[in-house]
With several copies, the nearest count.
Chain A
Amino acid sequence: MSKLISLEDAVARIPDGASLLIGGFMAVGGPNRLVDELIRQRKSNLTIIANDTARPNFGLGKLVVEKLVAKVVTSHIGLNPETQKQMIAGDIQVELVPQGTLAERIRSGGVGLGGVLTPTGVGTSVEEGKRTVEIDGKTYLLELPIKADFALIAAKQADLYGNLTYALTARNFNPIMALAGATVIAEAEDIVPVGCIPPDAVMTPSVLVDHIVANTKR
């Protein structure tokens, strides 16, 4: 029961207009092979949910430069001037979300909660258009769950069932995105046989992962 799939086939499953959770933080721990293949296959009109839009020539930042992105939900676009340029020109829709709220919204989508009640953003422009809830005299924003058609993530190791580990700061958004994508596609630096990752070392259990991108080119 191997979940191996070629890079080309993995990306071929993604239709134009799909919503994609993309792991990584400034493209560190990002699924950079999958991103490059999205570009090669010219998948367009994408909605991207990711911590940031990286840099113009690095990781998912390239998707913006290639004008394949219609909307991005993110906490930071400061290091990708192309995102800011397209936003100002009205070519890309940008929803800015505080980073901790973004992480909790994705997690809440992935674990079946109705939303997130957070003090972050209360009294700021982030509050606009949102419901607030008073609890014990304190005000919280009701932030809605995020899910997506696909989660594209990157691991240090994957076994053939799809158990994943991550290294150091490359872990970041990958584990919660594995919970919130209807289809989860993972690329990995190393692919190992089942049983090579000890149960306690697994950071994303196999049952969350649909496809592992084979290590052969494309």
Chain B
Amino acid sequence: MDEKTLIAKRVALELMDGDLCNLGIGLPTLVARYVPAGRNVFFQSENGIVGMSGPVAGADNPDLTDAGGSPISALPGAASFDSVLSFGLIRGGHLDVTVLGGLQVDEEGHLANWMVPGKMVPGMGGAMDLVTGARRVIVAMQHSAKGESKIVKRCTLPLTSVRRVDLIVTDLAVIEPTDAGLVLKETAPGVTVEQVLANTGCELILSPDLRPMPLEG
């Protein structure tokens, strides 16, 4: 199993029956494939639909796309709406969980994921609204990039929100930001605690319930 699949599978276990869930572009999109059997999860695309599903070959519709403009499909019971209602769901506390990629997460659980000054300024899109408004924010990302840990003492990149994220799932570990700091809760298959610590740019508190990362619900 590659690292992205591992992360997506682990994140999918966090989705509960009946949840309204928004997946960011890139890695988080994979999560939809691994929802545990028996859980009916409603996926929102912030451009204006609840009940989205993967594209159906030969049935692309130019009026039915995801937030990146790529074709999607919709399940029975889907509902479409405009951008203010879409973000009303996100900002009004109606979104149970959002899964987003990250550039950095720091010791306080702050996420930076929308720009690298001087290099890449895509814009925040809906990320600031999602992190500020969702009931639960899960960051799904590689633990390190180009040899540097993405989990740091203090974000050097511009923050997406000052709201503390709820869970960080990486290819090495599951980490929960708390009042006391970042708590290491799970290690990925074949990964030791020492490896996680060595690849993390700030202190981690070891959970008394530290366990191997489960990948099936």
Contacts and interface: CB of A to CB of B under 8 A. Distances in A.
Interface of A: 1, 25-29, 51-52, 54-55, 58, 74-79, 84, 87, 94, 96, 98-101, 103-104, 107, 109-113, 118-126, 156, 159, 161, 163, 166-176, 179, 194-195, 199-200, 202-203, 205-208
B217 interface: no
Interface stretch (B5-13, B28-36, B40-48): B40-48
Given A29-B63, A168-B63, A99 B83 contact: yes
Interface stretch (B120-128, B181-189, B205-213): B120-128
Contacts of B159: 123-125
B38 to A, nearest CB: 10
A107 B84 contact: yes
A1 B18 contact: yes
Interface residues of B, number: 60
Contacts of B67: 25-26
5 contacts: A75-B124, A96-B123, A112-B92, A119-B132, A123-B162
Given A25-B67, A98-B128, A199-B49, A77 B123 contact: yes
Given A25-B69, A84-B121, A205-B50, A120 B80 contact: no
Given A1-B17, A100-B90, A199-B51, A124 B122 contact: no
B158 A124 contact: yes
A168 B122 contact: no
Given A28-B65, A163-B77, A170-B62, 5 more contacts: A100-B128, A103-B83, A111-B87, A176-B83, A179-B88
Contacts of A176: 82-84
A103 B84 contact: yes
Given A169-B48, A206-B79, A120 B133 contact: yes
B80 A78 contact: no
Nearest to A174: B82
Contacts of B136: none
A170 B129 contact: no
B24 to A, nearest CB: 12
Contacts of B65: 25-26, 28, 169
A68 to B, nearest CB: 20
Contact of A104 (B79, B87, B125, B127): B87
A205 B67 CA distance: 19
Contact of A25 (B44, B48, B77, B158): B48
Contact of A99 (B64, B68, B78, B126): B126
B77 A96 contact: no
B19 to A, nearest CB: 9
A161 to B, nearest CB: 4
A96 B158 CA distance: 13
Nearest to A54: B69
Given A79-B68, A126-B128, A170-B63, A179 B92 contact: yes
Interface in B153-171: 158-162
A99 B81 contact: no
Contacts of B121: 77, 84, 87, 94, 96
* Residue among A75, A176, A179 with the highest chain B CB neighbour number at 10 A: A75
B91 interface: yes
A53 B49 CA distance: 21
